[in-house]
Structure 1
Amino acid sequence: MNDQVVTFIHASDLHLDSPFVGLADRYGPRVRDAATQASISALNSLVRNAIDLQCDFVAIAGDLYDGVSVGVRARAAFLDAVHTLSEHEIRVCVALGNHDPLDEQWLRSSNLPSNLTIFDSSEPEVLTFPSRSGLVVNVVGVSYSIRNESRNLASMFLHKSALDGSAVTVGILHSNVGSVKEHAPYAPANLDDITRLEYDYFALGHIHSFEVLSQRPMVVYSGTTQGRSFKSSEQGAKGALVVSIRPEVTPVLRFVELGTFRFEKILVDLSSLELGEDPLDAMDYIYGVVSSEISTLLEGTSHPSRRFLLRVVLNGRVSSRIRIAEHLREYTDLLGDKIVSGGGGDFVILESIRDETASYFDLDEIDVVSISESGGFLSLLIEDFNTDGGHLGTGETTTTTEAILTSLSRLRERSKVSSEIIALVRATFSSSDALDGFNLAELDRRVIGEVLINLQARTESAR
């Protein structure tokens, strides 16, 4: 086997000194200090990994900083990291992005460490050097000149054959490849613009989650090194990729967790739970699921610092008698008290509990009087029944289902258009009429559909 290999770390979107607005005021100094230091701690972990693995270089695909007004602390942290890597003969190659375009004088300074290359913005530059194992390496990159970069920078890269075709070639770019709608369209490009280059590896930045766009040639987003919110792209373990490339072999990737502060969302499905009317039943079940998920998270993290901010999301279909929304504040307080924070600098903190459940109801349990007073088509059906001698809403055993069945049967006999009547009932269930305190527009449409189908079948058999 050929022992010649190029090893490097692909990182992007470090957002050094990201402010984490609001965390300090809400959760106190321990969380504030952890959040404030998180992005720089991730950078320091990156440096340690690069040294331990004896990497040839570190590729940073943009958004090194959180904004063009770079603070002294962030600048000092980055330059310290570069100097430390220089002592171990590790190069740092940076293609700047929308948060750190090439318009600051210090980035152009001649006093920057000699192992640091910040690619120009006019056209892609090529940096050529030997790896530790003797392979020739071409690193090709281009930076943004302004924040709102609209050029297709990927189309400006030269094909591998136009360079030294025998060299291991790595591209670096901050770009929205494929025009992903959830992200700003900076330096928009098509995947074909990159795969046609036939580079051995293309390191992308801008999207904050890990994603392999192409295996051959390999085109990859490494994701951010430190999550910053509960957005889907910011949740979970964050870090960088260790990339190993051997001639004529598909690159090997290994994720290393760098982020010290994790945002996690825990889903709790209540649909399979037989809940009574006591809200503590739901609380006990939620706590059991969350506790199990927390244990899994703590066991699964590869980073020595275990700091989690949790958001619990309740979903599934639950009985309308269980007023989840009315107890959310109590659930949040109780669950927050039950979750035990770790010692030292570690902690697990509950940010909130969100209710995304859908209610279902039994027609036989709905108060007929409430329906009669609410107006709408069901009210007209009940009025029609009562006009013809019925007494809906006056007896304890009379139900809404009976009212609808009887009215439907009578109207069908008169009009002979059952499908239209069913359509009217469906429209009523989809309206915003309040039934027994519930907004029908918020109810699960699939459950309502099942009820109507069953109702129609029962009406057919009652003729």
Structure 2
Amino acid sequence: MIKILHTADVHLDSPLTSLALRDEALRANIQSATRSAFVRIIDTALAEGVRALLIAGDLYDGAQRSAKTAAFLVGQLERLRAAGIPVFYIKGNHDAENPITGEVALPDNVHVFDGRGGKVQLEGTDIWIHGVSFNGKHAPDSLLGKFGGPVSGAINIAMLHTSLAGAAGHDNYAPCSVSELAALGFDYWALGHVHKRQVHSEVPWVVMPGIPQGRDIGEAGPTSATLLTIENGAIGIEEVPTSVISFLGHSIDVSGAEADDEIRQRIRSGLHGPIQDMRADDAAILRLKLSGRTTRHWQVLRDRDIWAETVSQIAEETGRLWIEKLIFALEAPDAAADTSATQELGRLMAQIAAEEGFAAQAQAEVDEVLSQLPPARRAELMSDAAALSALTKELAGAGSEHLFALMKGASE
């Protein structure tokens, strides 16, 4: 049996983005997470006794020069060299714009495919590795024409950094279809670029391993590399966990809780779930939702800042969980049965918020505040007029809800 490890999109030194970075105890772990994930990849390669490591692009994150990153990378690749494990590497769009890739002398066990393409036989086997790198940071056209044919009678593995037919949140680079890949006759396509793991085909294998370390809630869940086993000409695959910190969405139902002590206990109990699903030395950053109907509804919303701090402290007591964002999705008591003056005022506020004049004035004020931000940050929050309208509506709704909660919470 021959084993080969396939990874991509390591994005060394890519900044993880999370509100949890405010926690000093967590910050250092977050900032080193992409390196720690790469160490896990190397550890897995050594522990499994693989015959090769495949890196299908975007080993680096961007154009910043970092001697520390270069030294770290060489040190990890040297560990594989000492064990006689070769590394096959293609450059993706991020690698192509990173000057380190052209300045660091990688160990001689690393074969870097160039933009012309090529193939290398894995020593002592009938396995051939084929690969094509990006020549620059953009690859708007298909790269399939740069692949030669598979070697007859051998196992052929092809490496490509591609968006395939397109993926949300990813530039449309080196476009191609799964059927086009299958038609070329290779046994396994080791892909990279799209950060969500997906097995697109089993005959032949077309595998996007996903990012080894998620960087924000948009890359949620445990992340992994792919371990190939080749025996008697047949290829099998296994998902190998790599992330040291996972971004997770989680919900806790506080329905029926009649007192704050009970709500806090529900939260403590509810946080056991994510921990049970984690490896012993892993941590997670949660986007936590409080849901359900409780008689403490308005008091919780009134004191939402206090509850946010309370939940963060309960999570941190575990030593393994941090809160990125707390979402209040509590169900309000039956409003139809409430004829109080406060409830009537709430209905009037909702009517005012829906009026065109109010919406226009509120949007103008939000636009004025956003104009004070740096252009890049402003673009993130308001990409177009529709985004400005949506942001204004969200802020107005949140303000109205908070004001109503202050009134209801004080009256009950």
Residue correspondence of structure 1 range 238-317 to structure 2 within 5 A: 238-249=223-234, 251-270=235-254, 273-276=255-258, 278=259, 281-290=262-271, 292-297=272-277, 300-301=278-279, 305-315=281-291
Q: How far apart, CA to CA, are the structure 2 residues paired with 1:266 and 1:102?
A: 37
Conservation of the 8 A alpha-carbon contact between 2:132 and 2:146 = no
Aligned: 1:8 with 2:13: no
Q: Which of 114, 117, 120 is residue 114 of structure 2 equivalent to?
A: 120
Aligned: 1:157 with 2:147: yes
What per-residue deviation string (whole Å, max 9, x for no partner) do you get for residues 133-191 of structure 1?
A: x4311111111122222121245434xxx331211111111111221123222222222
What per-residue deviation string (whole Å, max 9, x for no partner) do you get for residues 178-236 of structure 1?
A: 211232222222222212223221111122222111111111111111121111xx222
* Correspondence for 2:71: 76
* Correspondence for 2:158: 171
Deviates more, 1:255-264 or 1:203-212: 255-264
* Secondary structure at the counterpart of residue 86 of structure 1: helix
* Correspondence for 1:180: 167
1:325–1:204 Cα change, 3 Å? farther
* Correspondence for 1:148: 138
Aligned: 1:370 with 2:351: no
Q: Return the letter of the residue paired with 1:307.
A: A
1:326–1:280 Cα change, 3 Å? farther
Conservation of the 8 A alpha-carbon contact between 1:229 and 1:235 = yes
Deviates more, 1:353-362 or 1:365-374: 365-374
Aligned: 1:35 with 2:36: no
* Correspondence for 2:325: 352
Deviates more, 1:215-224 or 1:37-46: 37-46
Q: How far apart, CA to CA, are the structure 1 residues paired with 2:346 and 2:85?
A: 78
Q: Return the letter of the residue paired with 1:296.
A: Q
Normalised by the size of structure 1, how large is the TM-score?
0.68
1:438–1:18 Cα change, 3 Å? closer
* Correspondence for 2:363: none
Q: How far apart, CA to CA, are the structure 2 residues paired with 1:307 and 1:374?
A: 45
* Secondary structure at the counterpart of residue 32 of structure 2: helix
Normalised by the size of structure 2, how large is the TM-score?
0.76
1:108–1:334 Cα change, 3 Å? closer
Q: How far apart, CA to CA, are the structure 2 residues paired with 1:101 and 1:333?
A: 43
Conservation of the 8 A alpha-carbon contact between 1:82 and 1:113 = yes
Aligned: 1:90 with 2:85: yes
* Secondary structure at the counterpart of residue 297 of structure 2: coil
CA drift at 1:264:
2.2
* Correspondence for 1:387: none
1:21–1:350 Cα change, 3 Å? closer
* Correspondence for 2:128: 138
CA drift at 1:110:
9.4
Q: How far apart, CA to CA, are the structure 2 residues paired with 1:70 and 1:37?
A: 16
User: Between Structure 1 and Structure 2, which shows a larger proportion of helix residues?
Assistant: 2
Q: Return the letter of the residue paired with 1:138.
A: W
1:348–1:320 Cα change, 3 Å? closer
Q: Return the letter of the residue paired with 1:187.
A: A
CA drift at 1:275:
4.7
* Correspondence for 1:337: 313
CA drift at 1:350:
2.5
What per-residue deviation string (whole Å, max 9, x for no partner) do you get for residues 42-63 of structure 1?
A: 2222222212222111000111
* Secondary structure at the counterpart of residue 339 of structure 1: helix
- Identity among equivalent positions (%) equals 23
Q: Return the letter of the residue paired with 1:349.
A: W
Deviates more, 1:239-248 or 1:54-63: 239-248
CA RMSD across the alignment: 3.2
* Correspondence for 1:420: none
Q: How far apart, CA to CA, are the structure 1 residues paired with 2:221 and 2:87?
A: 27
User: Relative CO higher for 1 or 2, CA cutoff 8 Å, sep ≥ 6?
Assistant: 2
Runs of 5+ in structure 2 lacking a partner? 352-396, 403-412
Q: How far apart, CA to CA, are the structure 2 residues paired with 1:260 and 1:150?
A: 34
CA drift at 1:319:
6.9
Conservation of the 8 A alpha-carbon contact between 2:224 and 2:240 = yes
Q: How far apart, CA to CA, are the structure 2 residues paired with 1:372 and 1:335?
A: 28
CA drift at 1:256:
2.2
Q: Which of 306, 318, 322 is residue 297 of structure 2 equivalent to?
A: 322
Q: How far apart, CA to CA, are the structure 1 residues paired with 2:346 and 2:322?
A: 47
1:70–1:167 Cα change, 3 Å? farther
Conservation of the 8 A alpha-carbon contact between 2:224 and 2:243 = yes
Higher Rg of the two aligned structures: 1
Conservation of the 8 A alpha-carbon contact between 2:216 and 2:247 = yes
1:309–1:371 Cα change, 3 Å? closer
CA drift at 1:306:
2.4
Q: How far apart, CA to CA, are the structure 2 residues paired with 1:25 and 1:438?
A: 28
CA drift at 1:101:
1.1
Conservation of the 8 A alpha-carbon contact between 1:103 and 1:145 = no
* Correspondence for 1:409: none
What per-residue deviation string (whole Å, max 9, x for no partner) do you get for residues 241-278 of structure 1?
A: 211122442x22222222222222212245xx2354x5
Q: How far apart, CA to CA, are the structure 2 residues paired with 1:10 and 1:20?
A: 23
